[in-house]
């Protein structure tokens, strides 16, 4: 049970840090979600949004962070 508790604390701390970054840098992150490649279709009575490029960027960032964690701490 010890490793599970350690991982839960690490995940919780990471969520807190991400929340603080979004809260404090919120106005500076307006560009996120409006990148080239994000699909947005707006018509009367219909709205579709697919943030393809933004989610690709998030995926690459998370992959890099997890790789660094495994490389140095695993």
pTM value?
A: 0.65
SS3 59: helix
Mean per-residue pLDDT, 24-29: 84
The proportion of the chain whose per-residue pLDDT surpasses 70, expressed as a percent, equals 97
Pair 74, 44 in one domain: yes
Across 32-51, b (16+ Cβ under 10 Å) vs e yields: eeeeeebeeeeeeeeeeeeb
Q: Which domain holds residue 4?
A: 1-30
Mean pLDDT for 23-36 is 85
Q: Are 51 and 33 in contact (CB under 8 A)?
A: yes
Same domain, 51 and 67: yes
Total domains in the chain come to 2
* pLDDT score of 19 more than 70: yes
């Amino acid at each position: 049970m010890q490793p599970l508790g350690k991982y839960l604390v690490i995940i919780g701390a990471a969520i807190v840090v991400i929340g603080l970054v979004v809260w404090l840098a919120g106005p500076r992150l307006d560009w996120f979600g409006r990148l080239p490649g994000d699909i947005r279709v707006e018509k009367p009575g219909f709205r579709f949004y697919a943030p393809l490029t933004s989610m690709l960027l998030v995926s690459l960032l998370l992959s890099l962070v997890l790789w660094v964690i495994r490389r140095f701490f695993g």
